[in-house]
A and B are shown apart, each in its own frame.
Chain A
């Protein structure tokens, strides 16, 4: 899912750290906000806002992290509200489609978590990481 193309320039140490932090932000948020999917999105959004005037490399990775959290937010939100209705609505109950969805959400989150860890490590080393779909999308949104 990830590619390692060359970036327009080689980022310095401080840039690499900040870019890596954008991914770490979503990692920390996953642990804190697992039942509340909005927390992950808010964390990466605030980090992006704080760094929106930063260098191209930092902005690029902040946007990629934000976009990936956005799609995860949609998937997790559906799971969250489905779970709430299973607990509180009498006409909703634990069913096979519900369990399959929860397991899918878990698989997708684990996959995303692994990708995020790899991206955080690589960008910390100053390497550029462009994810499949999210990379080109970020490229369209983020200009030097």
Chain B
């Protein structure tokens, strides 16, 4: 009996040993998975943005306001500001979203809906967190699959697929865990920038109340349980 237990132990140790040995190899690098995903992301980002470019406002007061807030968050958190491609869209919908290859789209509707820069910084930090945590590509790969994404970049999937992809990123939420991860990261970024996350929580709370003066609330309809989010952001902000 003792011998069999010892043999079981040795067998398990051998299996664990094989796994540890194999995991020493950088398979992601060997199979060029990250490189392939990066190249795909860049291509997708360019293609999606090409379809929206005309509606973009790349200068003016609103652009400068958002740009200065994004720059402040990037500077305080060690991110390269140049890598984020900021775009302001003239749209009354309260919305902001991240596209592949670090394109960040902010609607003028959102800029008009916030009461102060702290609130706006909260939303921007949340979108930056989605970019930093690679949520955009994770979501696309999950919902569309590698093959379809590649066929979009080669043009095989047709123009409709790009619209579908844009619709998915601008009007549907990430899953609950990813949203929470982005919120928690956003709190961290805001704190490092010297901005109180309470502004972000206030904005979420107001959206949760579905304040009629805010107009069309895309951002909140894609980010469920905003009151609950406001609650945990306030809790974490206090720490």
Contact = CB atoms under 8 A, between A and B. Distances in A.
B33 A94 contact: yes
A133 B15 contact: no
Interface residues of A, number: 23
Interface of B, secondary structure class, is helix
A101 B142 contact: no
Interface stretch (A29-37, A40-48, A82-90, A114-122): A82-90
Interface size on B, as a range, is 20 to 34
B49 interface: no
B128 to A, nearest CB: 18
Interface in B1-42: 1, 3-4, 7-8, 10-11, 15, 18-19, 22-23, 25-28, 31, 33
B144 interface: no
A100 B17 CA distance: 12
Given A91-B178, A132-B7, A100 B19 contact: yes
Contact of B138 (A75, A90, A101, A103): A90
B27 A96 contact: yes
B27 A99 contact: yes
Interface in A105-140: 107-108, 132-133, 136-137, 140
B138 A100 contact: no
Interface of A, secondary structure class, is helix
Contacts of A104: 15, 18-19, 22
B13 to A, nearest CB: 12
Contact of B3 (A89, A94, A136): A136
Contacts of A136: 3-4, 7
Contacts of A99: 27-28, 31
B177 A91 contact: yes
Nearest to A91: B177
Given A96-B27, A103-B27, A133-B4, A87 B18 contact: no
Contact of A90 (B3, B4, B139): B139
- Interchain residue pairs A-B with the least CB separation, the first 4: A100-B23, A99-B27, A133-B7, A90-B175
Given A90-B135, A90-B138, A108-B18, 4 more contacts: A90-B139, A93-B141, A94-B28, A99-B27
Interface of B: 1, 3-4, 7-8, 10-11, 15, 18-19, 22-23, 25-28, 31, 33, 135, 138-139, 141-142, 174-175, 177-178, 181
